[in-house]
Structure 1
């Protein structure tokens, strides 16, 4: 994907590139506050409050809405691939697994296990709705401190994903549960889209 032409306040800009005989060098926007993953792990109990989580999810939803309007699927949304700008805003980065898919469904297994939707785990074709699933997983991890399907082994994680087997801790609000449960849905076509995320009452109430 040529990100020089993809401009959004919550997507890390690529200004250009150059290369020599051994390497390609990318000129990227500086995100001074680093990875969301590190910020999350520096928090008490390794989780954010609902206001901060809703703010991040709204920014991510807006960025993905923009990507999808350009027929770009990210396919690897996770805390390690989200950076924080000068004002603490989300910057979507690492488009290494992204695809430009204007009219096709993809069937490549990629991304990070804890964030993979069931259609990718099962090797079935997939489309931009894989990003919707990942937004739900990210929202859960930000609020709880670990992904919803996390297990001791990969096989157990796969099974949890396929069976939609996860639970909410008591401290997660009903509004957050409602949003997550509308994103983490087995049927890809029934997942809440990014417009729906931005209009969801929990997001509207809590985002800054």
Structure 2
């Protein structure tokens, strides 16, 4: 295993801490000229008006907000342009662009508009990532996955029309609180598990689960918001080394073929970080992190319950085939005890009051 082959070419990632990169990738795509940037074919008509009637016929997994969706209509002649939207305040900044609150002028539907710069995408050689992200996310419909309604582009920019997550980023909330209580963590783990069950049923491996890629929606539900490292993989066996170092599975750091089980491993890492405030394999440098991951060296603080330890112990298993299946995660006693239907994350109870 090569320990000096780390190269960061990813999108929004954690800052370096003690010399350890927040992410790693092995991008081998040849650099392309600026005029070669291609956008995926639009998979559906132009989303437009709010419509209660149309929403009834839409996939029931789409919305948990209780409000009408921005839906598709059979109008492929007219595509989106920036003039269709009123832009509001910035919601966030990333390496390749910014996200803005926006409102579609005709329907008054509020969305998040992610603006990416083509030149920066080409310079960083991640065109394939952006294309794959759009192609995958546009086709996913689940209450725990951020909806991508559509996209358009001009000479210099790409615009992604995304569902607006009212309560913002999980990463920000976690940093503000330090760590979550077990009920809050269990609710988020349950929501993420449901999203991953759906993704895997659609032959999609996410490969980059972490707090930075998760948002909190209108009803305090967790939503996967970033699919930049995701892949549609009917064969289920992949070789690409990608994702965030703290969340990489043993098979990925050793360069072995990997499958859907990498998301199960990441779920265990996330569960630990939500409860403790730091990833379980956090160390001073990447060499130590590699070693901790490879041999699953974990220290549980005293405040972690036995049931929580049991769940994480069944997720963070070296052999991918022995990790607890996602459907079994939803039936684990820790989840059933702390995350019954209708439970509100206690991290938001004070906010609601």
What TM-score, normalized to structure 2?
A: 0.58
Give, in whole Å, the separation in 1 of the partners of 2:290 and 2:157: 36
**Displacement after TM superposition at 1:130 (Å):** 0.1
Shift of 1:33: 1.4
Distance 2:154 2:289 in 1: 42
- The answer on whether the counterparts of 2:137 and 2:227 sit within 8 Å (CA) in structure 1 is no
Matches within 5 A, 1:79-98: 79-98=211-230
What does 1:1-208 align with in structure 2 at a 5 Å threshold? 1-43=135-177, 46-207=178-339, 208=343
- Secondary structure (helix, strand or coil) at the match of 1:83 reads strand
- 1:56-85 Cα deviation digits (max 9, x unpaired): 000000000000000000000000000011
Tell me how large the CA RMSD over aligned residues is: 0.8
Q: If the length of structure 1 is used for normalisation, what is the TM-score? A: 0.97
Q: Kindly indicate which of the two structures has a greater share of residues assigned to strand.
A: 2
Bigger RCO (CA 8 Å, 6+ sep): 1
- Supply the distance in 2 between the matched residues of 1:92 and 1:189 (Cα, whole angstroms): 24
Runs of 4+ in 1 over 6 A off after TM superposition: none
Distance 1:192 1:52 in 2: 21
Q: Which runs of 5+ in 2 are unaligned?
A: 1-134, 344-353
User: How many residues end up aligned between the 2 structures?
Assistant: 206
Shift in Å at residue 22 of structure 1?
Answer: 1.6
Q: Report how far residue 104 of structure 1 moved.
A: 3.7
CA distance in 2, matches of 1:183, 1:131: 10
Q: Work out which of the two has the higher radius of gyration on C-alpha atoms and give 1 or 2.
A: 2
Q: For structure 1, which runs of at least 5 residues remain unmatched after alignment?
A: none
Q: Relative to total residues, which structure has the larger helix share, 1 or 2?
A: 1
